[in-house]
Chain A
């Protein structure tokens, strides 16, 4: 052991969650092992047991403060599936509005606050400067754009869900609060501006793609399987079927979320509290897949909205389909940002969005088992609950978004670590001058 070297990054920064990175090197400078150590967990699957099932949608958002809407909705859908309840159409539209608003603010947060510092301030910049606070200070226009985009999404989640962080209004059978005409009118007005900001964000992203073409196409290219939701081939985040694409780019599965156990396995590694979800029929590690924006953009035929679809076709023209370039996740995120704002606009224009018929009044708890599946910003999210005759939860199984990506992250980190430590590939990369000196 003494002749080996271990590089430890503790903690991994600019991400939501608790992670460390361990790179183990042999004495002759070869990368032996790369670990993404997720160092905390809270056991929601256990402490939801014994609760009233209708309260689970209040508890579950606490799994993630950045993406509480998908947890709120996957949870309520799981209860509705177990109790055989179908909410009114207007309630489903309100939920779609909320999840798209969250997708919008989360993708903006990820792009501007978590990822952009690497591209705007530069990957080799002083850590003291490589953050969104610097961007806000040094590039006030970009900073303001970022804050406005995020604010729009969060405000809209609040308007539908009551709270932006840990929303509360979805309940088995519908929504506890209708969307008022007054609120609808405010957001119909605001969405015009938001659409404009979105297009400005697209321009900024395109500049980043052009500037960083070399690392995007050369660094951390990691072939894996991909998983994501679709509706008749369109990219979808609230309700649909799940597709699996193999590393060669062929769709190998297309299944309803209810049968997820046949296709999804959890590998428990010895060095992470987050399990590695993988494509079960192929096994682990062969069946390692990734979820999140790029995975969704890989598995779908097209985007659900026109401007987003143009953007997807542009990415496919340049990088093809299936895309394994890890940095293209950021690009895909921006394509989804466009779909989110277009979906939001369409939903706001739909007269049914202000319907007061948003909740059933005769929902009966019952014994059953239900699956709720949505796409969280970081990937496919599944809640599976078992309830007894009184509607109390007796068992829970959950597959959360990030866990679909842990093994894929390790795989792409292994590629990158070899490139950096063994081949010094990063030294030869063509990089632009940072936008901030």
Chain B
């Protein structure tokens, strides 16, 4: 029998979908669990933060960090995980790119707080909670910009198969590399030469289930998105929103999409601009926090 590896799973601000995806290995867990000595995983196991803090540095074989830093407590936990773990994995798109909450970077923190705690229709006599509260970060950035990670592992969430593949590699000491292919490479739909003259919105018309969604004029981002998911969304006639982020080597997902669209669409720039009144929401989904636009905003804020 293999010696069990010490593993810690930490949740920063997130939806816990990555945890659910791991649990969704279901019966396969029966084979995986004996190989793991879980030393921290609040979603499932009762160890507390102080237990993690008390562990010697680098005493954890594999650390998985899910979620991104929306609070100062998240930053503490992230840095703690870096100190305690030998191999640190950026688990899911929040950890790799900031996640969907990175879209909040379009506004100042003050505006986010006001909307939720002071101005919501159902709130009366609101306030910003402070007692025993950790306080928020000014914006959401990828965890990989705060500490060094050994393994990026994107997905919103990574599929159970992805999770098994990554865990198996890490447990046996093999390298885990991200694929170079795109969602289109995994998609079963028939593709033709593209010449889009008009974009349709997701609810419009009827989708031909056999043909490429982008060819039909739906903004399907499979062409610019890393192929790990097995093209789950296009397979069920739903456009890819790019939730796994770009293939390796591409720094700015949305910028890549915009430049590619210029070539794919038979439309002048004004028409394209009109078709997408919300470029940030359309071209970034889980990775706005990793974009140049968001970084420029951060920089402007700092200079103020």
A and B associate in one complex: yes
With A42-B70, A261-B121 known to touch, is A66 a contact of B20 (CB < 8 Å)? yes
B48 contacts A by Cβ under 8 Å: yes
Give the distance in Å from the alpha carbon of A52 to the alpha carbon of B125 in the complex: 31
Contact B21 A10, beta carbon cutoff 8 Å: no
B182 CB to nearest chain A CB (Å): 18
For the complex, give the distance between the alpha carbons of A350 and B15 in Å: 34
* Distance in angstroms between the alpha carbons of A109 and B22 in the assembled complex: 13
- Given A41-B116, A150-B26, A46-B16 contact (CB < 8 Å): no
A381 to chain B: closest CB distance in Å? 14
A273 vs B100: C-alpha distance when bound (angstroms): 19
What is the minimal beta-carbon distance from A77 to any residue of chain B, in angstroms? 14
Q: Separation in Å of the B110 CB from the closest CB of chain A? A: 11
Q: Mark A9-43, 1 if CB is under 8 A from B, else 0.
A: 11111111110101000000000000101011111
Q: Are B202 and A171 in contact (CB under 8 A)?
A: yes
Answer whether residue B186 sits at the interface, using C-beta atoms and an 8 A cutoff: no
Q: Are A176 and B237 in contact (CB under 8 A)?
A: yes
Residues of chain B in range 176-216 having any CB-CB distance to chain A below 8 Å: 201-207, 209
| B11 and chain A: residue at smallest CB distance | A18
Contact check: which of B46, B201, B202 meets A130 at CB < 8 Å?
Answer: B46
Q: Is B166 in contact with chain A by the CB < 8 A criterion?
A: no
* A397 close to B (CB within 8 Å): yes
Q: Which of B70, B123, B127, B206 contacts A270 (CB 8 A)?
A: B127
Contact code string A41-55 (vs B, CB < 8 Å = 1, else 0): 111011100111011
Name the contact of A39 in the complex, choosing from B133, B203, B207 (C-beta under 8 A).
Answer: B133
Q: Which residues of A contact B30 (CB under 8 A)?
A: 136, 143-144, 147
Q: Are A11 and B49 in contact (CB under 8 A)?
A: yes
A365 proximity list for chain B (CB < 8 A)? 201
Does chain B have a CB within 8 A of A131? yes
**Pairwise interchain contact A65-B38, C-beta atoms closer than 8 A:** no
* B48, B49, B241 — most chain A CB neighbours (10 Å): B48
Interface string of A409-425 (1 = CB under 8 A from B): 00000000000000000
With an 8 A cutoff between CB atoms, is A268 at the interface?
A: yes
B22-41 with Cβ < 8 A to chain A: 23-24, 26-27, 29-30, 33-34, 38
- The tally of residues in B whose CB lies under 8 Å from a CB in A reads 82
Within 8 Å of chain B (Cβ to Cβ): is A271? yes
Whether, in the assembled complex, A240 has its beta carbon less than 8 Å from a beta carbon of chain B, the answer is no
Closest to A154 in B: B24
Do A169 and B236 touch across chains, with their CB atoms under 8 A apart?
yes
What's the minimum C-beta distance from A436 to chain B, rounded to whole angstroms? 15
Question: Considering the complex, which residues of chain A in the window 56-78 have a beta carbon less than 8 Å from any beta carbon of chain B?
Answer: 58-59, 62-66, 68
Which chain A residue lies CB-closest to B45?
A: A131
The one of B17, B49, B101, B115 that contacts A65, using a Cβ cutoff of 8 Å:
B17
Q: Which residues of A contact B156 (CB under 8 A)?
A: 62, 166
* B:235-275 near A, CB below 8 Å: 235-238, 241, 243
